[in-house]
Amino acid sequence: MPQRIPKKDLNRIEAVIAAHPNGIGIQDIENALEGRVIRRTLQYRLKHLVAAGRLVQRGERRWARYTTAAINITTCGALTISGYEPAVTAVPISKRAASIQQHLRKPLEARRPVGYDRKFLDAYRPNDSAYLSDEERAHLKEIGTASSRQQPAGTYAKQILNRLLIDLSWNSSRLEGNTYSLLDTKRLIDFGEEAAGKARLEAQMILNHKDAIEFLVGSAEEIGLNRHTILNLHALLANNLLADPGAPGRLRRMAVGIEKSAFHPLELPQLIEECFDQILTTAAAIKDPFEQSLFVMVQLPYLQPFDDVNERVSRLTANIPFIRSNVTPFSFRDVPAKLYTDAMLGIYELNEIDLLKDVFVWAYERSASHYAAIRQSIGEPDPFRLKYRGALREIVREIVLQRISKKSALAHIAAWSTGNIPADDREQFRELAESELLGLHEGNFARYLIRPSEFTAWYEIWANATLRKSPRNPDS
C-alpha cells in the first residue's frame, strides 16, 4: 500500500509554487524548501499534486515548470500601487472561505444588517477553542522559528528591524489605500523625503507605522497584550490623523460605521471597554503565538474599540506574540487589499474566520520565506553589537548632531560610556563606537536617524580635521 504523504508537506510545496504565478522549476522549489525534501521525494510529490489537479505542469523533465491550478485558488488582482504592480496574487482558499466571498458579492441592500454579537467573543476559550488547527500551528511554527537558541524577547526582530520597518509600514499602509510605492516608503523612512504629488496624510500614516514598530521592537521585553501596550500603539498609529486630538490612545466614545458593510459596531462606551478588556485577557492567556496573533486580528477590529485606525492596530498587535517569541514577524507581504477587506467583512457580517485564516497562513508563509532569505544573506549578527544597538545609535547620532570633531569625539565616547555602559563592557563598546564613526559615510548614515543635511554639516568638520592632521600633531 502506498505511503500517505503528510498534508503539511504537500501544502508547503504548494505554497512555494503559489508564490510564483508565472511558474517555478524544480531546482528553485528545492531551494525554497531549504533541503527539507530530497529530489526524488520532491519529484514524487509534485507528480502527486499534478495528478490530483492541484498543480499544472508545463514542459518536461528539467524544463518543467509548475503553477497552481486555477480551479483550486481564488485569484485576486492586487491594487495598482505606484512602483508595485503584480499581475495577480494567488491565495489558496477553502470552500468555506469561498462561501464568504459569495455572500459579499450580494448587493449591500441584499445583505442582512447585523450588530456586534458578544457571543462570538464569549464562546472562545483560550487553549481549548482554536482558530488554527494543531497541524496549521505546527506548520507555522516550523517555518517561523528563526533559531533553536533561547534569546531575549525581540532579538530576531531587532536583527531585521531596518527591513521590517519598511516592509510592514508599507504593506499595512497599502492595505488602507495608501498610494506610496515601496521605494517611496524607503526614502521616507530612511531620509525623511516625502514623495512628490502625494498627500501629507499618506506620509503621516507611514511614519506613524515606523514609530509604532520601533516602539514594539524596542520595548520587546515590556510589551504584551495589555491595555498599556495597545492604547499606546493606537496613539502612535493615529498620531495627527484624527479630528479629535484626544482620541489617539483612547477607547471609542462615539458611534462608528463600516463603509460598504451591513455591520453596525457596538456603541455603548461601557460595553466597548468591557469587551476590550475581555479580548486582551483572553489573548494574553493563549499559549501559542500563532493562535494569539490570529485571535487579535479577528477580535480587535470586530469590536472597533477606537474612533479609527482599528485594523492597523490589529495588524501590528498581531506581531506582538512573534516579537516576544523570537519567531518571524508578519509583514503582510503581497496580501491583496480586496481579499483582506473581504476577509474582515466576513468576520463583521458573518462571524466567519475562514477567509482571514487562509490569508493569514498564506501570507505568513511568504513573510517567513522572505525573512529567512534576508537572515541567510546577512549571516549571524554580532551579539555584542546587537545588545548595544540602541546605545550605538544614540552616541553616533549625538556626535553627528552636535558636530563634534574627531579629536573631541573620542573623549566624548569615553565620557558617555562611563555614564551609560556597564564597566565590563565599556572598553569593547568604546572601540565599537569609534569603529562605527570611522566607518560612517554617505551610504550608511540613515540607520542612525540622521538627515542628509545633518551628516553633511558634521562631515565637513570631521573630514577637515583629518586633512589638517600632521605627524607633529596627530590628534589635531
Quickly state the pLDDT bin for 242 (edges 50, 70, 90).
Answer: very high
Encoded amino acid at 388, one letter:
Y
User: What integer pLDDT is reported at residue 149 of this predicted model?
Assistant: 57
Give the residue from 77, 33, 137 showing the smallest Cα distance to 369. Answer: 33
Distance CA 401, CA 391 (A): 15
Torsion of CA 281, 286, 289, 295, to 10 degrees: -70
Distance CA 261, CA 341 (A): 10
Half-sphere exposure of 353 (CA within 13 A, CB side): 19
Range name among 228-232, 378-382, 450-454 with the lowest pLDDT average: 378-382
Task: Report which DSSP code applies to 24.
Answer: E
Q: Give the max Cα distance, the chain.
A: 88
Q: Are strands 114-115 and 263-264 parallel, antiparallel or unpaired?
A: parallel
Give the residue from 336, 368, 369, 342 showing the smallest Cα distance to 356. Answer: 342
Rounded to a whole number of angstroms, the distance between the first and last alpha carbons of the chain is 83
Enter the C-alpha cell of residue 130. 482554536
Please say whether the beta carbons of 87 and 184 come within 8 A.
no
Kindly tell me if the per-residue pLDDT of 147 is higher than 70.
no
Comparison of pLDDT for 79 and 223, the residue scoring more: 223
DSSP collapsed to 3 states, 347-410: HHHHCCCHHHHHHHHHHHHHHHHHHHHHHHHHCCCCHHHHHCHHHHHHHHHHHHHCCCCHHHHH
The per-residue pLDDT for range 416-474, each reduced to its tens digit, is: 999 999 988 888 888 888 888 888 887 777 778 888 888 889 988 887 754 444 444 44
User: What integer pLDDT is reported at residue 98 of this predicted model?
Assistant: 94
Contacts of 332 (CB under 8 A, 6+ apart): 168, 171, 172, 175, 315, 340, 363, 367
Q: In what order do the strands lie in the sheet with 24-25?
A: 24-25, 65-68, 55-58
Kindly tell me if the per-residue pLDDT of 82 is higher than 60.
no
Please say whether the beta carbons of 392 and 432 come within 8 A.
yes
Kindly tell me if the per-residue pLDDT of 134 is higher than 90.
yes
Distance of CA 4 to the CA centre of its chain: 35
Contacts of 176 (CB under 8 A, 6+ apart): 205, 311, 312
Distance of CA 410 to the CA centre of its chain: 38
The per-residue pLDDT for range 306-320, each reduced to its tens digit, is: 999 999 999 999 999
Please say whether the beta carbons of 309 and 238 come within 8 A.
yes
User: What integer pLDDT is reported at residue 264 of this predicted model?
Assistant: 96
User: Using N-to-C axis directions, what is the helix angle for 161-174 and 354-378, rounded to 10°?
Assistant: 150
Comparison of pLDDT for 332 and 79, the residue scoring more: 332
Half-sphere exposure of 448 (CA within 13 A, CB side): 26
Distance CA 202, CA 180 (A): 7
Quickly state the pLDDT bin for 87 (edges 50, 70, 90).
Answer: very low
Percent of the chain with pLDDT over 90: 49
Please say whether the beta carbons of 303 and 275 come within 8 A.
yes
Q: Is 411 exposed, middle or buried (0-12, 13-18, 19+ CB in 10 A)?
A: exposed
Kindly tell me if the per-residue pLDDT of 47 is higher than 50.
yes
Distance CA 83, CA 157 (A): 26
Grouping H, G, I as helix, E, B as strand and the rest as coil, residue 158 is: helix
Q: Is 434 exposed, middle or buried (0-12, 13-18, 19+ CB in 10 A)?
A: middle
Write down the mean pLDDT value for the chain: 85
Half-sphere exposure of 126 (CA within 13 A, CB side): 16
Q: What is the mean pLDDT of residues 206-210?
A: 96
Please say whether the beta carbons of 283 and 226 come within 8 A.
no
The per-residue pLDDT for range 4-25, each reduced to its tens digit, is: 677 778 888 888 888 776 678 8
Distance CA 457, CA 453 (A): 6
Q: Is the pTM of this model over 0.85?
A: no
Encoded amino acid at 84, one letter:
Y
The per-residue pLDDT for range 259-269, each reduced to its tens digit, is: 889 999 999 99
Range name among 152-161, 255-264, 325-334, 406-415 with the lowest pLDDT average: 152-161
Distance of CA 362 to the CA centre of its chain: 14
Kindly tell me if the per-residue pLDDT of 146 is higher than 80.
no
Please say whether the beta carbons of 356 and 344 come within 8 A.
yes
Quickly state the pLDDT bin for 290 (edges 50, 70, 90).
Answer: very high
Q: Computed from CA positions of residues 6, 11, 16, 17, in that sequence, does the dihedral angle turn out positive or negative? A: positive
The per-residue pLDDT for range 187-203, each reduced to its tens digit, is: 999 888 999 999 999 99
